[in-house]
Structures are given as structure tokens and as C-alpha cells.
Amino acid sequence: KDNGSAIGTLVERSTRYVLLVHLGAGRSADRVRDGLLTAMATLPQHLKRSLTWDQGIEMAMHHQFSITAQMPVYFCDPHSPWQRGSNENTNGLLRQYFPKGTDLAVHGPDHLATVAAELNGRPRKTLGWDTPAERLAKLLAVTD
């Protein structure tokens, strides 16, 4: 609402697996950095090859994130959302749960985890009707 709150969205490109990052009542660079670091800590190392972000000021601390997470951060060209198509699609799906104008700060980490679980359990045409959770499980089984 009034751009005063946000949810960080992380989408693994090949499986479309979603992690939602609770940012509370703001999207300052330090809040985004800390939220992303917490979310990335839940992933196995081989899934943390790079992060692609848009040109927003909320990633002003990308150098600190990159060093701490040991992961390079790439930025899309300005006004080029197709360079992050999976993430843009996920943001569209999230509108079903959080319509425009919603105060996102009132949705805590537990609720975001529930929404992410629903999205990750939803079959996708692009995955041959597998769910992101199924694809992630297959990916993790191959790399174990």
C-alpha cells in the first residue's frame, strides 16, 4: 500500500520453486539484504549460483549480500522485465493472494510460507504439469 511495504520474491529458474521473504513495513536496502541472506541460508550451496535482480534501489547493498552469501548478483537492464520472466510470472500469481493496495507488512513470515507452499504445490504447464516442489526434489536427488 502506497509502496510502503513489500515481499521479496526468490524464484529458482529451472524448477520455479518460490521463496517469499518477509520485509515488514519497508524495503530498505539493509532490510532486503538481511531478508535475502536469511532466505538463501535455507538453500543448499549448489543452488546458490547467482541472483538476478531488477534495477531497484532496494538492492543498494548488493555488494555486501554478494560477499556474505558468496553469490554474484546480476542486474537486468532497465525496463526489461522479460529478463526475469519467472519472477515476473510469480509476482503475477502472488496478486491472487495479495491484491494491489494490500498492506503487505501485516502478512508475517508464517503466512508467506503458507502462500509459498501453495505456489510450490501448484502444477505448472512449463514444468510438464509437475509442481515446483516436485522439480526441486528431483533436482536435489540428482545432486546428492
CA distance 49 to 42: 14
Residue 84: the pLDDT is 86
Name the 3-class secondary structure at 49.
coil
pLDDT digits (tens, 9 = 90+) for 43-97: 888 888 889 888 788 888 899 999 999 999 999 888 888 888 888 899 899 999 9
**Which CATH code for domain 7-111?**
3.30.420.10
pLDDT at position 5 over 90: no
What does pLDDT average to over the chain? 89
Q: Which three cell numbers stand for residue 82?
A: 522479460
Which of these, 32, 14, 33, lies nearest to 23 by C-alpha position? 32
Domain ranges of the chain: 7-111
Torsion, CA 77, CA 81, CA 84, CA 90, rounded to 10: 160
CA distance 19 to 86: 13
Cβ atoms of 45 and 143 closer than 8 Å: no
Mean pLDDT of all residues in 127-131:
96
CA distance 78 to 54: 7
Residue 40: exposure state from Cβ atoms within 10 A (0-12, 13-18, ≥19): buried
